[in-house]
Each structure stands twice: as structure tokens, then as C-alpha cells.
Amino acid sequence: MPADRTLDQLRAAAEATRGDVPSPRTGDPTPDTGPDDGTVVRVGDEQDTIAGVAARYVAAPRDTGQAAALLRAAAALDLAVTFRGGGTKQDWGSPPTRLDLILDTTALTGVVEHAAGDLITVVRAGTRLDELPATLAGAGQQLALDAPLPGGTVGGAVATNTSGPRRMLYGTVRDLLIGVTLVRADGVVAHAGGKVVKNVAGYDLGKLVTGAYGTLGLITECAFRLHPLPAAAAYVSRAVDDLAEAGRLAATIRAAQLVPTALEVDAPAGGGATVTVLLEGTPAGVAARAAAVRRLLGADATDSDQPPEGWARYPWRDGDVGLKLTAALSGVPRLLADARAAADRHDLPLAVRGSAGVGVLYAGLPGASDPERVAGLVDALRTATAADGGHTVVLTAPAPVRDRVDLWGPVHGLQLMRRVKQRFDPDARLAPGRFVGGI
């Protein structure tokens, strides 16, 4: 089919949703989307790529109904579709094996509902995660998700299961998500969960799409549980010379039962490490626990009401190699030491930063690193993490490293994942090849 005809059909699908229509979640009217003047559907340009693969078309739906119409049209036209939010993680995962249409969520923004009395909010998927604190703070509440990459969206955080230091106390995206609106590959709108924390109807669908990299459907709205803003916070830190000492101190803090919000280790490639404990609560309670943490960390410990440099950020830059390392809590000290030793053996400058409180670490390497050395290091890290009940995943890497390294490594339950993909997307048109095992 000629390209101009395909574009016309996509625009016609977007145009057909004009007018006030009931919101799929609340039943209230949504604004008239207006005619498609080329801003809803357009031809892709040089910026419209996913992991280096160019898209033919880009569509930016303005509500769930329009997104559903576009996905129905894409199904009829047999178009391969990948979703994009803030664009901060388009180089995560594998490149799509086929890409016709990028469905951009940046017009799906805003808080649909904030039920402060129930500690619940419903947010459209294209809303920037780092804009929510100001919106919710007026009610003295927070969505306790960190934003490691400025500009990332709510939908992107769910699709990649993004969490930061505070997951130790508040949990991950999967824990905080209580409801989701999802548009399937065939354009059918599905809802799961609800706006009540204890409502479990359909809740498993939210868990299923979390971390699925957009391979099962388009997330358009998310309902989250909220938490009160703490009255006080303190960051207690100590710098040490080696990772073995950092691991020992982290284990000491975990054993002390001081209920920290976060327990982080930051080990730059140049050597040394810093252990930081975040404490939240009442002013008196935080002061008392901070004093206890200082005693446990030692005389060189310091505290501040502001986070240290690099807090809740990944230890790599755009174009670098980014890794995620997991291990059982008891294995974190050993993993820290093993990671540094492996990097030294392969003569690579590995920076490590992450949560020693939950066993999730992130590591970064310069993008110009030799692919063969990176492959050797990844193999060593996979051996180390597997020994402690964890995994090593390459989240992002430049093309020469992607071509040499298996990004995902061994994955348990792959056949089950394939069956789920077949059920949700039988024609394999949603983000084909982006996820584990080529899903």
C-alpha cells in the first residue's frame, strides 16, 4: 500500500474520534481532540528512531479513545508499533525487528484524579514523573517513585519497571501501581485494578505489563497509591576506601533495624565508595535514628538534609553501557567486591551505584569501551550475580556492544512469556524483538 494512503488511513482513524466522548475511566467528557491537522499523525523524521531503527510514521493520540482507534487502524494495516514517552529509554532493550509507527504518549498528560483522602491518584501515561511532586505536594502527599532520568514519563516508568533508592521502604512501581488502562494490539481497551488500595479485581494485568517494555499493549492511564510527605529527612553518609568496607557497613545498617527509606552505595570508577542512608519521619525520630546511623558508620560519617551528588541517578551517560545487577541481600557485599575485581581484570573503568538495601545495583562503562572486554566483563558479572541468586542485564549499550553481547542473559520462564505475548499480541506487532528472547 502506498505510504500516502497509509498516512491518510491513520489520520482518518484519529479524526474519527473527534468530539466529546466519555472518559474510559471516569465517565466524564474529555476535551474535543479537534481535527487531525498533522500534529496527531505525521511522517517520521530523523529524530524518530527506536534503538537506531527509524519509524515511517509517528502518532500522538490525545486520549485513550484516539489511541485505541490508531491501534485498530495499525492492526488493519499490519503496522509494527512501538511506544514512546519522554524518549529517555529508547536505547534500552533490543532494537525492534520491524518498526512502522511510533505511538507517542506525550499528549496523554495530566492528573485525571487525585483522591487525597484515599491516598490515590490516577495519572495519564505521558505525564512526566518529575512533575508529579509539585502537583501532589499541596495535599502533603507523594508518589514515592524516583526519577533517575529527567523527563521520563509515568508510562515509561511502568513499562520498564523503573525504581530508585526509595524502593527499599515504599516498594517498586509494581507495588505502587493499583490500576491500569491498557490498549491492546487490536485496539480493545482493557482496565485492571481500580482506585481502592485493597481492590484486587484484575490487578494481575497491571503486574503483567509492568516491565514488559510495551510488548503487551499501550498503557494510557495508571492509578497509584500515594504516601504522606515526611516531615523531616536526613542523609547520613560515610566515604570509605574500598568496596568490601562499603559492603560491610551496608550490612551493619541493614541489621540495625533502623527502618531506613534507602541504603545506597556509590562507587565511582576511580576507586573508593560512599555509603548513604536516607531516613524519613518526624523531626525527633529522624534526629535520633540519624545519630544511631552515625555511630554505626563511624566517626567520619556526616549528615545533611540534602541528597548527595548523583543520588537516584544512573552511573552512566547517554551512549554509555548501562548494566543492572541483582543479588540476594546477603550477597551484596560479595557482589560489590567481585564487580570491582572483574572490572580490574578486564581493564575497564566500572562505576557502580545502587541499593545495598534491596540488592539492586546499577553499573556503567564508557560507550567507547572495547566490545570484547565488555563481553568478558558481562560474563564475569553474570557468574557473580548467579552465585548470589541474581541476574545481570545490559540495559543500554552502543551498537558495537549490542552486536557482541546478549543483553538479557539467561531468563527463567521464557516459554511462558512467549505464550503471554502470543495471547496479547498474536501477530507480534507491538515492539517486536525489544524484549527478552526476541519477544
Domain positions in the chain are 1-17+37-229+412-438, 232-403
State the Cα–Cα distance between residues 385 and 406, nearest whole angstrom: 16
Q: Is 203's pLDDT higher than 70?
A: no
Mean pLDDT is lowest, of 13-17, 78-82, 107-111, 141-145, for 13-17
Region of residue 236 (left: phi > 0; alpha: psi -120 to 50; beta: else): beta
**Band of pLDDT at residue 412, cut at 50, 70 and 90:** confident
Q: What span, in angstroms and rounded, lies between the C-alpha atoms of 110 and 90? A: 22
**Mean pLDDT (whole number) for 356-377:** 97
What are 300-356's pLDDT values in tens digits?
A: 999 999 999 999 999 999 999 999 999 999 999 999 999 999 999 999 999 999 999
- The pLDDT mean for the chain works out to 92
Structural class in CATH, domain 1-17+37-229+412-438: alpha beta
Per-position DSSP letters for 232-276, written without gaps between them: EEEEEEEEESSHHHHHHHHHHHHHTT---SEEEEEE-TTS-EEEE
Per-residue pLDDT tens digits for 418-428: 999 999 999 99
Shortest CA distance to 77 belongs to which of 9, 11, 4? 9
* Least confident window among 33-47, 224-238, 323-337, 420-434: 33-47
Reported confidence tier of residue 83, pLDDT bands at 50, 70, 90: very high
- In this prediction, residue 4 has a pLDDT band, given cuts at 50, 70 and 90, of confident
- By C-alpha distance, which of 75, 58, 69, 51 is closest to 425? 75
Can you give the pLDDT at residue 277?
Answer: 98
**Three-state DSSP state, 121:** strand
CATH number for region 232-403: 3.40.462.20
Nearby residues of 184 by Cβ (< 8 Å), 6 or more positions away: 71, 190, 216, 217, 424, 425
The Cα–Cα gap between 244 and 297 comes to 14
The better pLDDT of the pair 313, 412 is held by: 313
Q: What is the mean pLDDT of residues 75-96?
A: 96
pLDDT at 32 > cutoff 70: no
Give the mean pLDDT of 202-215.
86
pLDDT of residue 17: 84
Give the residue-averaged pLDDT of 182-195: 90
Check whether 47 has a pLDDT greater than 60: yes
pLDDT of 200 reads 44
pLDDT given at position 298:
94
Band of pLDDT at residue 36, cut at 50, 70 and 90: low
**Averaged over 172-186, what is the pLDDT?**
96
Model confidence, pTM: 0.91
Q: Does 144 or 39 have the greater pLDDT score?
A: 144
Label residue 37 by pLDDT band (50, 70, 90). low
How far, in Å, CA of 308 to CA of 236, rounded? 9
CA end-to-end distance (rounded Å), the chain:
27
Section 281-310 average pLDDT: 96
Q: Which of 208, 203, 199 has its CA nearest to residue 191? A: 203
Residue 199 has pLDDT above 70, yes or no: no
pLDDT of residue 252: 96
Residue 359 confidence (pLDDT) above 50: yes
Strand ranges of the sheet holding 101-104, from the earlier edge strand across to the other edge: 41-43, 57-59, 101-104, 81-84
Q: What is the mean pLDDT of residues 199-221?
A: 84
Cell numbers placing 278: 536516607
Give the model's confidence band at 22: pLDDT under 50 very low, under 70 low, under 90 confident, else very high: very low
